[in-house]
Amino acid sequence: MARFDPDSYSGLDRLGRVPLSASFHFREFLYSELAVHHKLRNVPDKERVDFAIEAGSRLCALLLEPLQARFGRIHVRSGYRSRAVNAAGVGKANCASDNDGFHTWDHPSAKNGMGATACISIPRVSRAIFAGTVPYEALAWWINDHLPDWSFVEFFATADHSDEVCFNLGWHEISLKKMVTRRGGPQSLLTRMPPASERKANIQTLLDNCAV
């Protein structure tokens, strides 16, 4: 049981101030347009706050921190979703019917255990991709080759996010190792992974144009 109750204002304030890693706090992952629209509170179940903090900390420390250190500021578009908020988006806002262990951090996945996912973009990388300087797949290859703890990567179609290259990035205690894209139609990126030499060249182009 967490030492504070997010159902109270003081508890919610304390939850928002919890550091999940060196650069990220829980507050950044709580805001949800879906929750605002439907007038729902987007907070973990009070008896599972510590579980959500642990899952979010793994996501931030193992995936988001090294990604931000290499490519600059990460824009968090969607992070934590309560079960109630997620249910409000099923069939309306592209929310999966079961997001436990993904966006719903306080409940484990039935197959992959504890987990956390965030939908993010990286402005520096988005600008380079839209300028035609580097293919978006180079970012996928960098994640695969440099973040051993990644579990789930999903790039969204351009029409969904016309001003950003957005993607879900997730960690699980039992890794899923699923990397898909919806840019140009749903398909697995891993089946399209080029040979190591070509992958290295794409990654180098990405680093030359986007690395901090």
- For 64-89, how does the pLDDT look when each residue is reduced to its tens digit (9 = 90+)? 999 999 999 999 999 999 999 999 99
Domain-wise residue ranges, the chain = 9-210
Burial of 95 (0-12, 13-18, 19+ CB in 10 A): buried
What does the pLDDT look like over 1-38, one tens digit per residue?
567 789 899 999 999 999 999 999 999 999 999 999 99
162-173: buried (b, 16+ CB within 10 Å) or exposed (e) per residue? Answer: eebbbbbbbbbb
- Alpha helix stretches (DSSP H) within 81-183: 83-89, 123-130, 137-146
Nearest one of 117, 142, 120, 119 to 210, comparing CA atoms: 142
Q: Which secondary-structure segment (H or E) carries 178?
A: strand 178-181
